[in-house]
Structure 1
């Protein structure tokens, strides 16, 4: 039993990435309001980053670029843990956004590179969704830093939004459910939200529907 549990993330790394990301969401919610938690925030982020990097190497895209993006993030994350700096946080968020977009694109290429959908590719569909949500959340962090007041809320209008609030906005926007009290206020913030809404619709229409068709084809040919 233990051997099978250990072998599962090795055989299905996309499932491991999805699990780490979901766990990260729960852990972030517990850490955000404490100074120690904010320090550990970077550590959890490194675990998510490492899991994403491990999954990317299974895709058809070159991994050298992914490593080149990940290394500065690792260095800045460790630096940020011991010496917090809002300006450094913005640079780190920009790099992480690029990395997660790259990782999501690599996973999409991985899912669509063959004729049939494997179990790991089905898990990759969920992992890609969370990678895109993470990426847009980091874009919102950069937008808020460069254009203060970009995002508002029904409570605390005008205050900078926290990471969990921006991640919540990203998930509700990408999924298309539209449920949330965090709203874009300035034109650039609204433009970014519209781009994410379009990305979410196209992801479901093109990638997820393609995986469903590939799964149906596999069952038909058995």
Structure 2
């Protein structure tokens, strides 16, 4: 049923919407009772994973790998709920990063420097940008988990509580706004921050060049 609704002509619309819902949900977790925090965020993340898999189902090699990641993610989430396992949070963050990286790579192969430019492809470039910011947010959460004082303006807590703050900081850095309310304290954190700023500048240049060249190639054809 879902495969009939999500097609290669509109798949990026659904994926971008799922990523936006994930960001909005993460911003609301602090207003939710502690007992519901993990269930809410884990549920939204799982739903986002499923939408991404269905949306990119045409990439068969990618799909099998990501389906495996979803299964492992669900097992890790259940183990975290019922069995205290050391460093399970770090493992879940790494799984999320791997999933978003795979999604990013698959989208990039489909929209950058290939085919004609349409609304779906433009929305796909927005999804790429959101995934880039989310991946760097996960990097910051990993750094924060290993070094609680790596960032000023962020309280050390479980990653679900800090997800929204680090996503905010990530997109502020990616767009080079630099508000300064959150800042890196350690050398490694500082390197990660300016590397993201560089990635954000190059991303805009690459996407614009890709869309322009694809549009010109299609017009000539």
- TM-score normalised by length of structure 2: 0.83
Deviation at 1:177, TM superposition (A): 2.2
- Worse overlay, 192-201 or 29-38: 29-38
Query: Which residue matches 1:114?
Result: 114
Structure 1: which 5+ residue stretches go unaligned?
1-5
The residue aligned with 1:136 is 136
Post-superposition offset of 1:18:
0.6
Deviates more, 1:208-217 or 1:169-178: 208-217
CA–CA distance in structure 2, aligned partners of residues 86 and 141 of structure 1: 17
Question: Which residues in structure 2 correspond to 1:92-107 (within 5 Å)?
Answer: 92-107=92-107
The change in CA–CA distance for 1:26 and 1:48 in structure 2 (over 3 A counts) is same
> Matches of residues 5-44 of structure 1 in structure 2 within 5 Å?
9-10=6-7, 11-33=9-31, 34-35=33-34, 36-44=36-44
Which secondary structure state, in structure 1, belongs to the residue aligned with residue 196 of structure 2? helix
Distance in 2 of aligned mates of 1:192 and 1:64: 31
Q: 1:92 to 1:129 in 2, by over 3 A?
A: same
Count residues in correspondence: 213
Mapped partners of 2:127, 2:213: distance in 1: 19
Q: 1:185 offset after TM fit, Å?
A: 1.2
Question: 8 Å contact 1:60–1:109 — kept in the other structure?
Answer: no
8 Å Cα contact 1:152-1:183 kept in structure 2 = yes
Q: State the Cα deviation string for residues 41-91 of structure 1 (Å, max 9, x = none).
A: 110111111122223333486433333333212322344455676721111
Compute the displacement of 1:162 (Å): 1.2
User: 5+ unaligned residues in a row in structure 2: which ranges?
Assistant: none
- Correspondence for 1:70: 70
Residues 203 and 7 of structure 1: CA distance in aligned 2, closer, same or farther (over 3 Å): same
Aligned Cα root-mean-square deviation (Å): 2.7
* Correspondence 1:207-218 to 2 at 5 A: 207-215=207-215, 217-218=217-218
Q: Which fold has the larger relative contact order, with Cα–Cα distance below 8 Å and residues 6 or more apart in sequence?
A: 2
TM-score (norm 1): 0.82
* Contact kept? 2:11, 2:56, Cα under 8 Å: no
